[in-house]
Amino acid sequence: MRVRRCDGLKGEVRVSGAKNAALPLLAASLLVERFELENFPVLLDTLYALRILELLGREVELLPGRVSVKGGISSVRIPYEISSLFRGSLLFLGGLLGAVGRAEVAHPGGCAIGSRPIDQHLKFLSHIGAEVELEGGFVKVKLPPEPKARAFTFDLITVTGTENALLTLAGLRGEFELHNAALEPEVLDLVEFLKKLGLEVEVKGRSFLVRSPGRENLKREVSHRTIPDRIEAGTFLVAGALLGEPLTVKGLEVSHLGAVLEKLREAGAEPEVLSPSEVRIRRVERPRALEVQTAPYPGFPTDMQAQFMAMLTLADGVSLIVENIFENRFQHALELARLGASVEVRGKTAIVRGVERLKGAPVNATDLRASAALVLAGLVAEGETVVGKIGHLLRGYEDLDGKLRRLGCDAELF
């Protein structure tokens, strides 16, 4: 994508449905015969997920802004060619286990931000008595008719680990306690969906008390609406802190953005909450330097770390960014340095020394959120910036170039 220095972002932008909510919901659609999902984000990852559903035998119909899925399941095997394209493919392990009690999913593998092991996913399954076999890069799982245990505690907080456990439990009759669970809004949106199918789920702190009627007693038809994408919303709010004249971000969920709004205020931007779904933000002359620590929700999201680093490269002072979730999520620092940023990475800490200005240059995206950070930096850098390997961006942002052009910027995808 080519971006030129942008004088200002003026007007309003509406965020799309959340990719990381749509993916578990598409996996959960295996539990029902007929499924409708509104506010569906059309992105590479969600299109890959629809392809997986078709490979499993489902009929998929993609309509403007929504998708419908129906029909039976004729396969439980997800080939490496598609599961390796996106991490969200792992969620179809839980979807298949909940729906039919068996699954063969090629291990999606790691990506740029880390090795991303799945030990917690497998530990849960072994704990409930599933037969788990790792063979030729495939995870083959067969559930017992009844779980061998009625409680499990994750060793660490894992979003898709929690989601896979919930999807699996949806098919197993009876009560179950999940402890040390992830509480991301996308996880809780999946819980709301499963309640529509007939599950009872009580959330107490990081514990989920789940009671399922069993897969044969779940509701057959259900519709749902994807929650707004809090990371896309956060990305535009950072853009507004840099260039807003002002920028109004609509269709978001303010209650999902507490930590992000707090950090923007600390940086000197003054986001105005106009309603529970609308925030207006103006550019701040020079952001104040910050300390940012990524943490599981409701802490500061790791998926917003790169975007904040882009903003802090121009801050008045030295900022510290500590990445506590992934072991290798600072690759955008090297690319930002090509634009003139001063970032020093020491283990899980990045030291960002604010500079007066950035200068456009060709850079390469390394992962989804890094690509967004480079686009933000390109909008404030002098001259022209070309972000290469932009495929990463297309995985998680719907029509970002179009949205930026409509706000008065010169951004062109090629």
* Between 76 and 325, CB nearer to ligand EPZ: 325
CB of 106 to ligand EPZ, least distance (A): 16
CB of 45 to ligand EPZ, least distance (A): 8
* Between 16 and 120, CB nearer to ligand EPZ: 120
Give yes or no for a contact between 381 and 356, defined as CB atoms under 8 angstroms apart.
no
Distance between CA atoms of residues 404 and 209, nearest Å: 43
CB of 304 to ligand EPZ, least distance (A): 10
* Between 119 and 131, CB nearer to ligand EPZ: 119
CB of 324 to ligand EPZ, least distance (A): 9
> Which residues bind to ligand EPZ, rule: CB under 6 A?
19-20, 23, 87-88, 114, 116-121, 156, 158-161, 182, 302-303, 325-326, 368-369, 396
* Between 118 and 227, CB nearer to ligand EPZ: 118
Instruction: Please name every residue paired with 318 in a beta bridge, in sequence order, or none if there are none.
Output: 353
Instruction: Please name every residue paired with 207 in a beta bridge, in sequence order, or none if there are none.
Output: 204
189: phi then psi, degrees, rounded to nearest 5: -70, -35
CB of 173 to ligand EPZ, least distance (A): 26
The 3-state DSSP class for residue 213 equals coil
Tokens of 92: 């179809």
Is the C-alpha dihedral spanning 334, 338, 341, 342 positive or negative? positive
* Between 154 and 176, CB nearer to ligand EPZ: 154
* Between 70 and 116, CB nearer to ligand EPZ: 116
Tokens of 329: 């999520």
Amino acid at 367: D
Distance between CA atoms of residues 355 and 337, nearest Å: 11
- DSSP string of 316-344, one letter each residue: BSEEEEE--S-TT--HHHHHHHHTT-EEE
The 3-state DSSP class for residue 57 equals coil
**Catalytically annotated residues:** 111
Q: Is 61 exposed, middle or buried (0-12, 13-18, 19+ CB in 10 A)?
A: exposed
CB of 76 to ligand EPZ, least distance (A): 21
Q: Which residues of 115-145 are buried (b: 16+ CB within 10 A; e: fewer)?
A: ebebebbbebbeebebeeeeeeebbbbbbee
* Between 164 and 313, CB nearer to ligand EPZ: 164
The 3-state DSSP class for residue 387 equals strand
285: phi then psi, degrees, rounded to nearest 5: -50, -55
* Between 186 and 401, CB nearer to ligand EPZ: 186
CB of 263 to ligand EPZ, least distance (A): 16
Tokens of 381: 């850098």
- Residue 156's CB is within 10 A of a number of other CB atoms, namely 11
Distance between CA atoms of residues 94 and 77, nearest Å: 13
Tokens of 350: 């990045």
Distance between CA atoms of residues 125 and 141, nearest Å: 8
171: phi then psi, degrees, rounded to nearest 5: -95, -5
Residue for token digits 């059309």?
42
CB of 302 to ligand EPZ, least distance (A): 5
